[in-house]
Chain A
Amino acid sequence: MATVNLEHLAGRRVLSLRGKSVGHIEEIRVERDGDELLVTEFHVGIFAAFERLSALPVGTEVLDLFRLRHRDYMYRIPWDMLDISDPARPRLRCRLEQLSHMKVGADGKGRSPASTAHASPGRKK
C-alpha cells in the first residue's frame, strides 16, 4: 500500500509538467464519504510561507500592507490533477492551460466554470 504523510505537502511548491512553478500548497480539502475521509482538492496559492495565515481578514490586510502577499487568485486543483507520491515535490498532472479553469478569486468565488474532474463518489451537489 502506497502511503504518504500529508503534512509534508504544506507550503510545498507545485511544479508543472515542464518544471515551472505554479504556486504553493496552501490547504488540502478533504470530505467524508461514509466512514472514509477522502482528499478532494488542493488549494494552491502564490505565496508559501503564509498559507496558514491567509484565512483571516486582519491578517491578510496586514500582509497586503507589507506586500508579503500578492493574492489575486488561488487554484483549486482536483485530487487527480496533482501527483503527490513524493510529497516534497508535488507535480501537476494536467497542462498549464487547463489550470485557468481552476482559478478562483481571493474571495473564494470561481471565475470560470469549475473543473469537471470531480470524481469523488457520493459528493453532493
Chain B
Amino acid sequence: MKKLIEISLGIVTSVGGFLEVGSMATAAQAGATFGFQLIWAILLGTICIIFLVEMAGRFAAVSHHTIIDAIRERFGFNAFLWPLLATLLVNFLVMSAEIGGVAIAAEFATGIGFQWWALPVAFLTWLLLWKGTFGFIEKGVAILGLVTLCFVVAAVMLKPDWEAVAAGAIPSLPGHDAANYWFMAVSILGASISPYLFTFYSSGAIEDKWDKTYLGANRAIAGLGMTFGGTISVGVLIVAALVLGAHGINQVEDYHQLPLMLIPVFGFWGFVLFVASLAIACFGAALEIGLQQAYLVAQGFGWTWGEDLKPRQDPAFCGVYTLSLLLAAIPITLGLDPLKLTIFSMALTAASLPLTVVPFLFLLNDERYVGEHRNGVISNAAVIFIIALGFVLAVVSIPLQIFGGS
C-alpha cells in the first residue's frame, strides 16, 4: 500500500515537474504558428524522456550511485569535465529562463516589470532550498503543479477536431516557413528531453533511498508521470492553436500574448489559472535545476551532498546552489527577454544531448553497476536512437536558430 502511495506521488511529481517555461513556451509557439502539426514532436520527446528517466531511476536504485557519480568514476575526470561544463552552462541558461518565467507571471499579476521580480524570485527559491527537505520540496511542487492540468481541461472544453489532433501526432512536412517549423521541432525536443530532468531524477532516487524493490515503481513513475506531463504539453499546444492561432496570432513574439490563451475558456479565471500555472511550473523547475547544479558539482568532486542535510553539514553543496541562483537571476534583472532566452536555451539543450546521453549506453550495460538489471535490447535501441537524434539536433540547431528562430 505504501508503495502505491509512493508511486502515485512519484507520478504526480513527474507531472508537476515536466511542465516548465520551456515546454509551455515551445508548445504555445508551435500551436499558434503551426496548429496541431507539431504534436508529433512532443510525443517523440516524451517517449525519449520516458526511456531516459526509467534508466536513470533504475541505475540509481540498483547501484546506489547517481548517473553523475558514475560518469566521473567510469570515464575519468578528464572525460567527465566536458559533460560537466556543458551541463552547467545549459542548466544556468535554463534556470535563468525559469526565473524569468516566474518573474513574468509576477508581472502579469501585479503589473510591476519582470526585471524587478528576478532577484526576489531567486531569493524565494534559495530560501526553500536552504530550509526545506527533499521530500517537502518534492511533494510541494507535485501538489501545486497539478494546477497545470487546467490546460488539459481547457483543451477538451474547446472541442478541437480530434481527428486533426490525431493527424498532428504523425510527423508531416510544413506548408510554410520550413526553417521555423524545424527550429520549433528542435526546441520542443530540447524542452522535452532536458538533461536536468533525468539527472535530477537519479539524484532524487538516492535522496528517497530507493533500492531494488523500487524498480517496478520506477517504471510506473517514469512511464505514467512523463506521459501525463507530455499530455499537458499537448494541451498547451491545442489551446494555443485554437485560441491564438485561430484568432490570427500566428507568431508568439511577446509573452504578453500568452495569458490570453485561457481567457476564452475560463474567462477572468483563465488569466488567473495561466499566471498560477506559469508561476508554479517555473518555480518548481527553478528549485529542481538549482538542486541539480549542486548535485552535479558535489557528485563530480565527491563532496558530501543531500538536500535533507542542514547547510552546515554540506557547505560546498549549498554554496553551489546559492551561487547558481544568484548568477541566474542576473540576465533577467538586466532585462533579457525571458521568452527569447527560453527558446534559445531549449535549442542549446537539444544540441548538448549527445554529451549527456552517451554515458547511458555504457553505464546501463555495465554489470558492475547494474548487475543483472542491465538494459535489454529495447532500452539499448532507444538510447542509440536518442544519441543519433541528439547528434542531428546538435548539428542543425545552431543554423536553424539563425535562419528559423525569432
Contacts and interface: CB of A to CB of B under 8 A. Distances in A.
A37 interface: no
Contacts of B78: 10
Contacts of A55: 366
B251 interface: no
A57 B377 CA distance: 13
A121 to B, nearest CB: 30
A58 B361 contact: yes
Contact of B74 (A10, A52, A58, A62): A52
A59 interface: yes
B133 interface: no
Contacts of B74: 52
A62 B366 CA distance: 14
A56 B366 contact: yes
Interface string A41-62: 0000000000011011111001
Interface in B240-281: none
B76 A52 contact: yes
A14 B54 CA distance: 41
Contacts of A59: 361-362, 365
Interface in B379-403: 380, 384
Contacts of A56: 362, 365-366
Interface string B362-386: 1001100000000100001000100
Contacts of B85: none
Contacts of B178: none
Contacts of A53: 75, 362
B127 interface: no
Contacts of B157: none
A10 B76 contact: yes
B380 A58 contact: yes
A58 B379 CA distance: 12
B320 to A, nearest CB: 25
Interface in B338-377: 361-362, 365-366, 375
A53 B74 CA distance: 8
B79 interface: yes
A57 B364 CA distance: 12
10 contacts: A52-B74, A52-B75, A52-B76, A53-B75, A55-B366, A57-B365, A58-B362, A58-B365, A59-B365, A62-B361
User: Closest 3 A-B residue pairs measured CB to CB?
Assistant: A58-B365, A59-B362, A56-B365
Given A10-B78, A52-B76, A58-B380, 10 more contacts: A52-B75, A52-B79, A53-B75, A56-B362, A56-B365, A57-B365, A58-B362, A58-B375, A59-B362, A62-B384
